Amino acid sequence: MFIVKHLVRNRFNKINIFPVRFLNDFLNVEIAGESLKFPHVWLRDNCQCEHCFHSSAKSRILDWSKFDLNIKPKQVLYNEKSVEILWTDGHKSIYQLNWLKFRSFARENRRKYNEAIYRPAQITWNNETFNQILKRFSYNEILDSDKALHDWLYNLSVYGVTLIQGTPNSENAIDDIIAKVAFPKTTHYGAKFVVQSVPNTSNVAYLSGHLPLHLDLPYYEYCPGTTLLHCLVQTESYGGQNLLSDSFFVAEYMKQHHPEHYKILTEVEVEWSDIGVEHGNEFFKLYRAPVFCIDKHGELFRVNFSIPQRGSYFPEPLEKVVPWYQAHGLFLKLSNEFSASFKTNVGDILVFNNTRMLHGRNAYEDNSNNVRRLIGAYVDWDEIYSRLRCLTVKLKNLDGV
């Protein structure tokens, strides 16, 4: 490693205020007292000049068929705000220091990037903390204010559940909220669905008995990300309360207190299934996945759980079946123990993360003057995170985006 003494030029006229060092494959840049490392290949790949990056399409346009994987800087110049690199192939790149810092490979900078732009960290909860984490938002404020829209989506992503109040009593009121995010996720139930007691239904949610904790549509590979339930008519009978349980909390609890059971639920695949006819269309949906889906960091990203929508075909060897049932039973028991119960009011839209929040409903009874009626819809996380990022960039002064 050696410090390069740079040539003085008019536009880059400060020498060695910010030392720039060549390592074998990296450039070391000091930005605001931090020594940050950037691979040469990454720098060249991310050149921001008009030949390499299309500024309005915000897309890389450099010709990768001619890309030199062993590219090295021939000369590096810098000032307080930027670094200029002259490459061995004669190309010249300029990078703003705040742009580089925002994309730094250092751990703390990465945490900040994830929190500000990628996805805010999720905070789990249980029946004891539910009342503190449940944030209420006004329907009209979400429609009128970017800040309210941002705060609603932020809370939804962090806690997995929020409540919108003051919704007009119309079947289409939910459409305006969804339009503020993007568009609904269509499934075989359509872009919207009615939740109301219907005898001889194709879906157990359309019965008035106790609806045990579950996630919707686990048999979809592209499972709906969030569920919105607008309460148009609430039951006057005893019952009809919503049940909600944060499966990420329960999974973490199992990981600590019942690690073997936890492991089984991360490993054993289940065939989630639904077969029926809806709107005159036959469907036969199957998807195989464990109850707990974890990524390469060991972090949960999706939970699948629904007793009615778990198929009888078991796609695993015989010896895994009995231990899996034990783990499944424990997960259900704990999910019930840690669940919160509350009854929505007319005008409420309950919104929750459908890959995280187990939900159910206590039994209730309709009568001729009072028929419980909800309008439901789904919106995917791709759209929610996208809207949240647009709003974050608009509302917060993020340096280096």
Instruction: Write out the residues near Zn ion by the rule CB under 5 A.
Output: 47, 49, 51-52
206 close to 357: Cβ distance less than 8 angstroms: no
Smallest distance from Zn ion to CB 162, Å: 44
Judged by beta carbon, residue 103 or residue 188, the one nearer Zn ion is 103
Q: Any residues with CB less than 8 A from the CB of 297 and at least 6 apart, and which?
A: none
Q: How far is the CB of 261 from Zn ion (least distance, A)?
A: 54
Phi, psi angle pair for 73, to nearest 5°: -70, 140
Residue type, 261: H
- Specify the 3-state DSSP secondary structure of 1: coil
Select 49 or 275, whichever has its Cβ closest to Zn ion: 49
For residue 105, give both structure tokens: 């490979």
Amino acid at position 202, single letter = S
Q: Are 375 and 231 in contact (CB under 8 A)?
A: no
- Determine contact, residues 275/283, Cβ cutoff 8 Å: yes
* For Zn ion, the closer CB: 59 or 281: 59
Q: How far is the CB of 18 from Zn ion (least distance, A)?
A: 22
C-alpha–C-alpha distance, residues 214 and 204, integer Å: 11
The rounded distance, in Å, linking the Cα atoms of 373 and 272 is 27
- Smallest distance, Å, CB 92 to Zn ion? 7
Closest CB to Zn ion among residues 90, 199: 90
Question: Which of 184, 144, 177 shows the shortest CA–CA distance to 162?
Answer: 177
Residue closer to Zn ion, measured from CB, 53 or 301: 53
Quote the least distance from Cβ 51 to Zn ion, whole Å.
Answer: 5
Residue closer to Zn ion (CB basis): 47 or 303: 47
CB of 80 vs Zn ion, minimal distance in Å: 22
What are the angstrom distances between the C-alpha of 200 and each of 173, 204, 214, 259?
28, 9, 21, 41
Distance CA 287, CA 200 (A): 25
Q: Which tokens hold the place of 396?
A: 């917060």
For Zn ion, the closer of residues 64 and 284 by Cβ is 64
C-beta closer to Zn ion: residue 49 or 393: 49
Cβ neighbours of residue 10 closer than 8 Å, sequence gap 6 or more: none
**Shortest Cβ distance from residue 52 to Zn ion (Å)?**
3
Which of 60, 147 has the CB closer to Zn ion?
60
Q: How far is the CB of 66 from Zn ion (least distance, A)?
A: 12
Shortest approach of Zn ion to residue 44 CB, angstroms?
Answer: 8
Cα–Cα dist 149/237, whole Å: 34
> Residues 400, 102: contact at Cβ < 8 Å?
yes
Rounded Cα gap, residues 166 and 145, in angstroms: 15
